[in-house]
Amino acid sequence: MKIEVDNSLKMLPNYDLIEKMKGEYGDKIACISIGTAGEMKMSAASIAFTDMEVRPARHAGRGGVGAVMGSKRVKVIVLDDTGMKMRSPEDPEKFKEANKIFVDGLKKHPVTGEGLPAYGTNILTNIINEAGAYPAYNFKEGAFKGISKISGETQAELEVKRGGVATHACHRGCVIRCSGIYNDKDGNYLTKQPEYETVWAHGANCGIDDLDSIAMMDFLDDNYGLDTIEMGATIAVAMEAGLAKFGDAEAAINLIKEVGKGTPLGRILGNGAAVTAKVFGVERAPVVKGQAMPAYDPRAIQGIGVTYATSTMGADHTAGYAIATNILKVGGYVDPLKTEGQIELSRNLQIATAAIDSTGMCLFIAFAILDQPETFQALIDLLNSFYGLSLTADDVTELGKKIIKMERNFNAAAGFTAQHDRLPRYFYTESIAPHNVTFQIKDEELDQVMNW
Q: Which of 79, 97, 132 is the last residue of a domain?
A: 79
pLDDT (0 to 100) of residue 172: 84
Average pLDDT over residues 251-265: 98
Residue 108: inside a domain: no
Q: What is the mean pLDDT of residues 149-155?
A: 97
The residue type found at 258 is: E
In a domain, 99, yes or no: no
pLDDT at 167: 87
Q: Tell me whether residue 34 is in a domain.
A: yes
Residue 2: pLDDT band (50, 70, 90) is confident
**Per-residue pLDDT tens digits for 268-317:** 999 999 999 999 999 999 999 999 999 999 999 999 999 999 999 999 99
pLDDT for 449: 97
The terminus-to-terminus CA distance of the chain in angstroms comes to 44
DSSP state of 293: -
Is the model's pTM score more than 0.75? yes
Query: Could you tell me if residue 220 is inside a domain?
Result: no
Question: 136 pLDDT band (50/70/90 cuts)?
Answer: very high
Q: Is the pLDDT of residue 91 over 90?
A: yes
| Residue 346 resides in a domain | yes
Q: 426 to each of 418, 430, 444, how far by Cα in Å?
A: 18, 6, 18
pLDDT at residue 263 in the model? 98
Tell me how many domains the chain contains.
Answer: 2
User: Domain for residue 226, yes or no?
Assistant: no
Query: Per-residue pLDDT tens for 205-240?
Result: 999 999 999 999 999 999 999 999 999 999 999 999
- What's the one-letter identity of residue 120? G
Which of 31, 52, 79 is where one domain is finished?
79
Q: What is the pLDDT of residue 202?
A: 98
- DSSP state letters, 269-289: HTTHHHHHHHHHT-S---EET
- 181 belongs to a structural domain: no
CA–CA gap between residue 125 and residue 29 (Å, rounded): 35
Mean pLDDT for 432-448 is 97
Distance, CA of 50 to CA of 366 (rounded, Å): 25
- Domain membership of residue 36 as a residue range: 7-79
Are 67 and 42 contacting, i.e. CB atoms less than 8 angstroms apart? yes
The 10s digit of each residue's pLDDT in 356-404 is 999 999 999 999 999 999 999 999 999 999 999 999 999 999 999 999 9
CA neighbor of 53 nearest in space, from 15, 99, 84: 15
Asked if the structure places residue 450 within a domain, the reply is yes
CATH code for position 421:
1.10.599.10
Which residue among 79, 98, 127 closes a domain? 79
